[in-house]
Amino acid sequence: MSETLTAAPASAAIVRPAALRASFTVDPIAPAIGAEIGNIDLSQPLDDGEYAALRTALLEHKLLVFRDQDITAAQQVALGRRFGELEVHPVFPQHPDHPELVVLGGDGHTAARENVYHTDVSWRARPSMGSILRCVECPKVGGDTIWVNMALAYERLPQSVREAIDGLLAVHDLLPAFGVRMTPEEREARRKAFPPATHPVVRTHPETGERILYVNEAFTTHLANFVEKHEVRYGFDFRLAEMDLLQYLYRQAAVPEHQVRLKWRPDTIAFWDNRSTQHYAIQDYFPARRRMLRATIIGEVPV
């Protein structure tokens, strides 16, 4: 049964309940994460009430899904800009008229490589607030995407693990995932432009105050201060213990109880909070094609 959004949850203090006036519906699609939004036309500019209500729904559900949204590339850019400044990705191909739109998907000759649990651009000093992804062309079968609630993943960690990771810092790097696409000269230039970024292993959501497990196997390479925080008997101890801990933290994204799985259709749009989620694009459809356009909203420095 649909619910009509009329008030903000207590955690979303950024939005005053009086500002929320929207007629769209919100249907949760999994207990952990995700809601489908109905009765809304994203080709039209959002008024202040719709914007505030959608932002509140995003904070609560972390992933919003919109079906049958036949919008143009320019309208997708405008929608993204309603929520903040858009980034231009330094590696992925871009839309010819809108560099803010990343073009994702294989060409029928080379399989796409987004099939790893990750948080978009965590290698930036200011990772993204969120992403708006539109399906342009979908395979008839396969090509689903999984999203993970990483606030829930942190909440369900054993207390001993939460104590062990308190105060730890993780290093996030562009090159391990994207360097294979580059020439040596391009790798050197990207390294100068985007040096590794260090972020808390557990970040605090700037709008809800939630604690979020913020490491991912695509971009997190190591812990910056493990030795400072943990006792070491022998020189090799710290490296083995550090990697064991990181591997354990990576695996939390793969817990089904933390997830939702979306089946795409053409003109489906997914809008997710990149600060509190990870996702995995399932590569089970090659050599069929799945073409997507993504607008990414610049976020804050994680704390």
> Which tens digits make up the pLDDT trace of 156-211?
999 999 999 999 999 999 988 887 778 888 888 888 999 999 999 999 999 999 99
pLDDT per residue as tens digits for the range 22-44? 689 999 999 999 999 999 999 99
- Within 13 A of 8's CA, how many CA atoms are on the CB side? 23
What average pLDDT score do residues 235-264 get? 92
pLDDT digits (tens, 9 = 90+) for 106-140: 666 777 778 899 999 999 999 999 999 999 999 99
In Å, how far from its chain's centre is CA 254? 15
pLDDT digits (tens, 9 = 90+) for 208-235: 999 999 999 999 999 999 888 777 666 6
Entry pTM: 0.89
CA distance 254 to 267: 27
Catalytic residue positions, numbered: 118, 120, 279, 294
Name the pairing type of β-strands 259-262 and 145-149. Answer: antiparallel
Question: In angstroms, rounded to a whole number, what is the distance separating the alpha carbons of residues 196 and 199?
Answer: 10
Q: Domain residue spans in the chain?
A: 1-303
CATH of segment(s) 1-303: 3.60.130.10
């207990």: which residue's tokens?
31
* 111 conformational bin, left if phi > 0, alpha if psi -120 to 50, beta if neither: beta
Looking at residues 247-255, what average pLDDT do you find?
98
Of residues 119, 115, 165, 154, the one with CA closest to residue 277: 119
| pLDDT band per the 50, 70, 90 thresholds, residue 11 | very low
Confidence at residue 7, expressed as pLDDT on a 0 to 100 scale: 31
- Report the pLDDT value the prediction gives residue 187, as an integer from 0 to 100: 85
